[in-house]
Amino acid sequence: MSGRVVPAPATGRGDPAVQRLVQAAFETIRSRYVLARHQIAAAILDADGTVHVGLHVDAMIGRAAVCAEACALSAARLSTDAALVAVAAVRYPKPTEPPEARLVPPCGLCRELLLDHAPDLTVAINGSKGIELMPLKGLLPHKYVGTKWAACAAPEATPTQTRH
């Protein structure tokens, strides 16, 4: 954890749920930041109003790293079957950078992953009027659609069904 004072990203006077989401991601990375190990945290809001956080886990081999959004998705699914409404991710500055935490959009892999599990998810982005939510589909208009899950139960299946 850094001893620097890094303010949270400015959320303006927008939607309180968005502010809570961004604040949760910021507080997570502010408290768990480790240079080259944990640089981003994500928060996912579910339809019941619960926020689930995840922490980016870096690795010596870059492709072994796991994004914060994937960790937040896992955390959400560990505790609820509720629909997932919105995601926000905050990147904490390195010690050599200006002390500015900033909102970052999901990487390409996370766009695919999140849309696989939450096709109606919105994402917090820096818009022209401050932080706003936009449909994640808008960031990935031509998502890959495979056939792997065609014969499986939908992710929204009842909790009593066996999952594999």
Question: Would you tell me which residues interact with Zn ion (CB under 5 A)?
Answer: 67, 107, 110
Residue 76 buriedness (CB in 10 A; 0-12 / 13-18 / 19+): buried
Buried b (16+ CB within 10 A) or exposed e, 85-114: bbbbbbbbbeeeeeeebebbbbeeebbebb
| Minimum distance from residue 113 beta carbon to Zn ion (Å) | 8
Closer residue to Zn ion (CB): 144 or 160: 144
Tokens 């944990």: give the residue.
Answer: 38
Whole-number Å distance between alpha carbons of 81 and 6: 34
Catalytic residue check, 97: no
Closer residue to Zn ion (CB): 15 or 66: 66
Closer residue to Zn ion (CB): 82 or 140: 140
| Minimum distance from residue 55 beta carbon to Zn ion (Å) | 13
Query: Chain-centre distance of CA 147, in angstroms?
Result: 26
| Minimum distance from residue 85 beta carbon to Zn ion (Å) | 19
Residues assigned a catalytic role: 69
